[in-house]
């Protein structure tokens, strides 16, 4: 859930070129994304390059990185 | 994951750094649902089927109640004692007392009791254990188990049970010859649990100060019983007691010095 009063903390990242389905965040640690026949798991990683640029005064040092995927159909229920 | 035929339950291993989901259980999707919500206690479930204009609720019907062996050693002749205020219970064996957690039955601690060496073929072992009413003290009575269900009492060990379930030996008393025939049932003195326990034999009731190892007679029975008492139950304030042996049952009011020989 995005806190509208902290909108400056949001950032944009294109994590896939595919059309994705329902998306869930588990305990602010894991991003679950459902496609038609797969389930992707993303976690936040520290981007060293971005960290350097952040010191210069811009961008977010974290990015979502896919670490696991499962071949499943059906619906995700959290 | 809810599919047309099955519902798969996955769980993240919080202890692991990898956060790889693990399949915990699978059930048939007999509801034909596309969405399923299960409460945190796994008792109630709400499902939604595509095109349905309401929700369906389910309540768990069966608990499997799996049994798990926590200890397979023989416990013949041992004693058990519950400490509800500390969330634990104790089981005694020949020369030690095990402390187990009340919820998961896991072994928390073990009290090794320094018993006397026996000078005969009958080993000295733990006969009974008792706790003070405030759950702070544990008393361990040891002696010999003789034939015909007779116990010969030799020593008393008092431990302090701390809040963190650890223990400290407070007193270790080798009881004199006059205590050999006291009952294995004993209680901590309600007024002075920090220094006294109460023993009963076939003649009367004795208060024993385990700190200075002295004894004084509280009450002498008008109707002495024939054999060593097996069971003793005191009232809440220890003004009355009922005791039983294989031959006699006696009710005693210590304050008013009344007695009723119940089996007569």
Across the A/B interface, how many CB contacts are shorter than 8 Å? 35
Mean pLDDT, rounded, of chain A: 78
Shared-domain flag, residues B119 and B206: yes
User: What is the tens place of the pLDDT at every residue in B204-229?
Assistant: 999 999 999 998 898 998 888 888 89
* pLDDT reported for residue B42: 80
Listed by number, the residues of chain A in 23-62 with a beta carbon closer than 8 Å to a beta carbon of chain B are 26, 29-30, 39, 41, 43
**Domain interval for residue B55:** 6-59
Shared-domain flag, residues B13 and B124: no
**Are B19 and A39 inside 8 Å of each other by CB?**
no
pTM, to two decimals? 0.59
- The tokens of B172 are what? 């270790």
At B147, is the secondary structure helix, strand, or coil? Answer: helix
pLDDT at B75 over 60: yes
Nearest to B12 among A26, A72, A73 (CB): A26
Shared-domain flag, residues B52 and B14: yes
> Between the CA atoms of B87, B91, B97 and B98, what dihedral angle is there, to the nearest 10 degrees?
-60
Shared-domain flag, residues B162 and B95: yes
CATH value at residue B153: 2.130.10.10
Question: How close, in Å, is residue B35 to chain A by CA atoms?
Answer: 6
Question: Model confidence at B130, in pLDDT bands (50, 70, 90)?
Answer: very high
Question: Model confidence at A1, in pLDDT bands (50, 70, 90)?
Answer: low
Question: Model confidence at A36, in pLDDT bands (50, 70, 90)?
Answer: confident
User: What is the tens place of the pLDDT at every residue in B91-114?
Assistant: 999 889 999 998 888 889 999 999
**Residue B22 located in a structural domain:** yes
E strand or H helix that includes residue A72: none
Shared-domain flag, residues B95 and B55: no
**Residue B113 located in a structural domain:** yes
Strand segments (E) across A1-73: 23-26, 30-34, 39-46, 62-70
**Residue B107 located in a structural domain:** yes
**Residue B232 located in a structural domain:** no
* pLDDT reported for residue B97: 93
Nearest to B19 among A29, A74, A77 (CB): A29
Shared-domain flag, residues B156 and B119: yes
**Residue B16 located in a structural domain:** yes
The lowest-confidence range among A48-57, A68-77, B95-104 is: A48-57
> Between the CA atoms of B186, B124, B96 and B169, what dihedral angle is there, to the nearest 10 degrees?
60
Return all residues near B196 (Cβ < 8 A) that are at least 6 apart.
B188, B189, B207, B208, B209, B210
* pLDDT reported for residue B71: 77
* pLDDT reported for residue A58: 54
**Are A72 and B3 inside 8 Å of each other by CB?**
yes
**Residue B169 located in a structural domain:** yes
> Between the CA atoms of B57, B59, B64 and B66, what dihedral angle is there, to the nearest 10 degrees?
90
| B236 closest CA partner among B199, B196, B191, B194 | B191
Tell whether A67 lies on the interface with B, counting CB pairs under 8 A: yes
* pLDDT reported for residue B154: 92
Answer whether B171's CB lies under 8 Å from B114's CB. no
Q: For residue B1, what is the nearest residue in chain A, using CA coordinates?
A: A76
* Higher pLDDT pick, B142 / B149: B142
Handedness of CA B232, B254, B218, B228 (dihedral sign): negative
Q: What is the mean pLDDT of residues B7-28?
A: 84
Shared-domain flag, residues B42 and B154: no
At B140, is the secondary structure helix, strand, or coil? Answer: strand
Tell whether A75 lies on the interface with B, counting CB pairs under 8 A: yes
Q: What ipTM did this prediction achieve?
A: 0.75
Q: What is the mean pLDDT of residues A19-41?
A: 87
Shared-domain flag, residues B94 and B123: yes
Shared-domain flag, residues B32 and B95: no
d(CA B125, CA B115): 7
Mutate to test the interface with A, among B21, B25, B34 (most CBs of A within 10 A): B21
* pLDDT reported for residue A60: 67
Answer whether A65's CB lies under 8 Å from A42's CB. yes
Shared-domain flag, residues B134 and B215: yes
Mutate to test the interface with A, among B1, B2, B9, B12 (most CBs of A within 10 A): B1
Q: What is the mean pLDDT of residues B163-181?
A: 90
Q: What is the mean pLDDT of residues B116-137?
A: 90
**Residue B252 located in a structural domain:** no
Question: How close, in Å, is residue B64 to chain A by CA atoms?
Answer: 25
Shared-domain flag, residues B214 and B85: yes
User: What is the tens place of the pLDDT at every residue in B43-55?
Assistant: 899 999 989 999 9
Shared-domain flag, residues B44 and B86: no
How many structural domains comprise chain B? 2
Question: Model confidence at A57, in pLDDT bands (50, 70, 90)?
Answer: low
Tell whether A72 lies on the interface with B, counting CB pairs under 8 A: yes
**Residue B227 located in a structural domain:** no
């Amino acid at each position: 859930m995005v806190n509208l009063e902290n909108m400056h903390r949001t950032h944009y990242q294109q994590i896939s070129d595919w059309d994705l389905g329902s998306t869930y965040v588990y305990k602010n640690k894991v991003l679950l994304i459902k496609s038609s026949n797969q389930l992707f798991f993303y976690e936040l990683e520290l981007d060293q390059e971005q960290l350097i640029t952040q010191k210069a005064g811009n961008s977010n040092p974290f990015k979502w990185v896919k670490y696991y995927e499962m071949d499943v159909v059906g619906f995700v229920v959290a | 994951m809810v599919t047309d035929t099955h519902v798969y339950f996955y769980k993240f291993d919080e202890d692991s750094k990898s956060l790889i989901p693990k399949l915990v259980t699978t059930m048939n999707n007999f509801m034909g649902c596309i969405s399923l919500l299960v409460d945190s206690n796994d008792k109630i479930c709400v499902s939604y089927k595509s095109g349905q204009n309401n929700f369906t609720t389910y309540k768990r019907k069966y608990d499997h109640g799996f049994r798990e062996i926590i200890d397979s050693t023989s416990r013949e002749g041992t004693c058990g004692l519950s400490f509800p205020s500390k969330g634990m219970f104790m089981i005694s064996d020949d020369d030690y007392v095990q402390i187990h957690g009340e919820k998961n039955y896991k072994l928390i601690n073990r009290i090794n009791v320094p018993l006397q060496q026996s000078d005969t073929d009958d080993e000295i072992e733990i006969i009974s254990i008792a706790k003070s009413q405030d759950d702070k003290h544990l008393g361990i009575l040891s002696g010999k188990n003789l034939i015909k269900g007779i116990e010969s009492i030799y020593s008393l060990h008092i431990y302090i049970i701390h809040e963190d379930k650890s223990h400290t030996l407070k007193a270790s008393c080798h009881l004199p010859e006059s205590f050999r025939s006291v009952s294995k049932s004993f209680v901590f003195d309600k007024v002075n649990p920090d220094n006294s326990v109460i023993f009963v034999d076939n003649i009367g009731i004795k208060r024993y100060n385990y700190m200075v190892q002295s004894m004084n007679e509280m009450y002498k029975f008008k109707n002495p019983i024939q054999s060593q008492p097996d069971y003793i139950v005191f009232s809440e304030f220890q003004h009355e007691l009922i005791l039983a042996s294989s031959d006699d049952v006696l009710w005693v009011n210590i304050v008013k010095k009344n007695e009723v020989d119940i089996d007569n």
